[in-house]
Structure formats: structure tokens, C-alpha cells
Amino acid sequence: MLIGDLVKKSGLSKDTIRYYEKMGLIKLNKKERRENNYKEYSDDILVRLSLVKRLKLLGFTLNEISDTIEILLGETNPCTEILEAVNTKIDLVEQKMKELEEIKARLTAIQKNCNGNCSIDDILPSCINF
Amino acid sequence: MLIGDLVKKSGLSKDTIRYYEKMGLIKLNKKERRENNYKEYSDDILVRLSLVKRLKLLGFTLNEISDTIEILLGETNPCTEILEAVNTKIDLVEQKMKELEEIKARLTAIQKNCNGNCSIDDILPSCINF
DNA sequence: CTTGACAGTGGACTATACTCCACCCTGTAT
DNA sequence: ATACAGGGTGGAGTATAGTCCACTGTCAAG
């Protein structure tokens, strides 16, 4: 598919896709050009872009994403490396979830302390050592 | 305390603290200066910085953090506004948690599909529509 | 055969969040 | 007295992640 289609299917802008291309997140080999010099994007590229989008939402940087994708979708890594990478990512995700649970508990506590007439004094105790 | 202490206690750099000051994330009133013009930071400032650090880890921008802190620690907002803000934040946190759960499920699926001898073909199905 | 949508390239610009630097003042230790 | 750690200010520079713009080429429709 051409870039216009990719824009529609990926939900990313033309400029963003080209930026990712420049950064090496997606790669086209020389075959993937039409005679008129237009770029031909495969479904693999779409998969990669979906991965990028998801991982970005979770706060990974493009460099981290680049590494992750290389391991997940690369062709040269044996299984153990893939599994290790996946396990590391799971740990990271679990860590983020724990953080969020803590924050949520804290917010809920504020909500409960605040019975119709709260002030800074109701909230501060919940924030110390937060 | 002076900035050196604050650096040690907060784990943030001098420049970062001053940047947050410039951005209005932390505020010193005129009283909070010693006669020699040195800034005197209170424990409240430390609480604020801890909040900033935590919220940053979760992917909030400094602007979002600024708003949140203003509502949580500000002095002029009535209770209803605080509660609304807290509820909004809880929603946001829950949304992020859902995202993470989805990612984790996906990663676990990859892990299961990969029985000792996986290749790109084992992983790709888990990545499509990811 | 021109118009308009779509493609490509290169480079400038922006926002966010720092980080570094130069230069100056303060205060204690030698 | 002076060295030196620590404080203050202003402004420049950096990294990341885009976003915008100008200019050019391609191609199907009228």
C-alpha cells in the first residue's frame, strides 16, 4: 500500500510515519519502491506501526520501542532472547500497574476524607510520602 | 531547608528544581527568602516535588501535573471542584491500567505461543491488531 | 493539456523537559 | 585575605518527538 493508505490504517500522520522511517523504526528495502519512486508499504509495516503506537501510549521512548521491536520482530534472535525480552517487558508493565494502583488508592482516600467540606488539611496527610 | 538539602531529599537536580520553580510547579512567597537572598524551602515543597515525581513516572506532563497539584494542594478551591478533579484523575488512572492489562495479556500470549522454539511466525499473530 | 490529489525530499520550526554555562554573591575554614 | 563550597540569575544549548512548509514529480479525470 502507499503512504495515504498507511495513514488511514495506522492512524498516524504522514509526517510521523516518515519521521519513524528516518529514525529506523520502520524500514523499506530497495525492492519496496514502485517504478515511479513511490514507496510500497507492506502489512508488516502496519504491524510495526501498531506496536509503536501501543508502546508509546505506555510511556516507552522511541529508542526503547526500537529495541523491543527489533527483538520481537527481528529475524536473527533465538527464542531465549525473545523470551527474556518479553519477561523484562512484563516486569516493566507490572511495575507501572503497581504505581497506578497506589495512586488510585491515594486518590480514593482523598475522596473519602473529603466529606462535603474538605480543605487542604484533609488532603495533605494523603500526599505526604506519596 | 536550602536547595542543596532539597536536592538530596527529593532526588532531583538543582536545575530541575529551578525549572519546576520557573514553570510554577513550586512557589516561594517573599517570606521564603533568607536575608542573604537564599531561598528557604519548606517541607510542603518537598511534598509537592514528590507528587511531581510520582505523576511524571505515570506519564503525566508537567502541565497536567501543575493543574492536578493546584487543585490538590491549592487553597482557594471548594470541595466540589477537588472531588471532580480527583474523580477525573481516577478515571485517567483506570484507563491507563486497562491499557497495561491489555499489553500484559498480549505479552503473556507471546510467551505461551513460544514453546522452546519460537520464530517470527509464532509472534506475529499476537502482534496484529495489538 | 491542465488541474488536483497524492507522492517524495529537505530543511526549518515547535513544544516539552531539562541541562549547562557564565558570572556574581555569601559564608565558613585556613 | 583568600580559597572554596554553596547559593542566585539569565540565557544558551540539547534531546525527543514530532509538525509545517516549499518545492518537485506522478498520474488519473475532465
- pLDDT band for position B90 (50/70/90)? low
Do residues A88 and B63 touch, judged by C-beta distance below 8 A? no
Q: Is the pLDDT of residue A87 over 60?
A: yes
A24 vs B30, higher pLDDT: A24
Per-domain residue ranges of chain A: 1-76, 90-130
Number of C-alpha atoms within 13 angstroms, CB side, residue B118? 26
Helix (H, G, I), strand (E, B), or coil: what is residue A123?
helix
ipTM (interface predicted TM): 0.65
pLDDT digits (tens, 9 = 90+) for A45-63: 998 998 888 778 666 789 8
Q: What's the pTM value of the predicted model, to 2 decimals?
A: 0.68
Nucleotides of D under 7 A from a protein CB: 6-9, 11, 16-21, 25-27
Helix (H, G, I), strand (E, B), or coil: what is residue A14?
helix
Contacts of A97 in chain B (CB under 8 A): 97, 100-101, 104
Compare CB distances from B51 to A82, A108, A127 and report the shortest one's residue: A127
Phi-psi region of B34 (alpha: psi -120 to 50; beta: other; left: phi over 0): beta
Contacts of A9 in chain B (CB under 8 A): none
At position A85, the amino acid (one-letter code) is A
If contacts are CB pairs under 8 Å, which of residues 21-50 in chain A contact chain B? 47, 50
Q: Is the pLDDT of residue B120 over 60?
A: no
CA A48 to chain centre: 11
**Lookup: cell for B48:** 509537592
CA B55 to chain centre: 1
For B64-82, b where at least 16 C-beta lie within 10 A, e where not — what string?
Answer: ebbbbbebbbeeebeeeeb
Listed as own residue / partner, the contacts of A80-86 with beta carbons closer than 8 Å and 24 or more positions apart are A82/B110, A82/B114, A82/B118, A82/B123, A83/B111, A83/B114, A83/B118, A86/B107, A86/B110, A86/B111, A86/B114
What pLDDT, on the 0 to 100 scale, is given for residue B43? 92
d(CA B49, CA A76): 45
pLDDT digits (tens, 9 = 90+) for A3-60: 999 999 999 999 999 999 999 999 887 667 899 999 999 999 998 998 888 778 666 7
CA distance A104 to chain B (A): 6
d(CA A30, CA A34): 9
Number of C-alpha atoms within 13 angstroms, CB side, residue A84? 7
Looking at domain A1-76, which CATH architecture does it have? Orthogonal Bundle (1.10)
Q: Is the pLDDT of residue A119 over 90?
A: no
How far, CA to CA in Å, does A70 sit from each of A67, A80, A81?
A: 5, 14, 11
Do residues B58 and A99 touch, judged by C-beta distance below 8 A? yes
CA distance B29 to chain A (A): 18
d(CA A97, CA B100): 7
Interchain contact, B104 vs A123, CB within 8 Å: no
What pLDDT, on the 0 to 100 scale, is given for residue A123? 46
B101 vs A43, higher pLDDT: A43
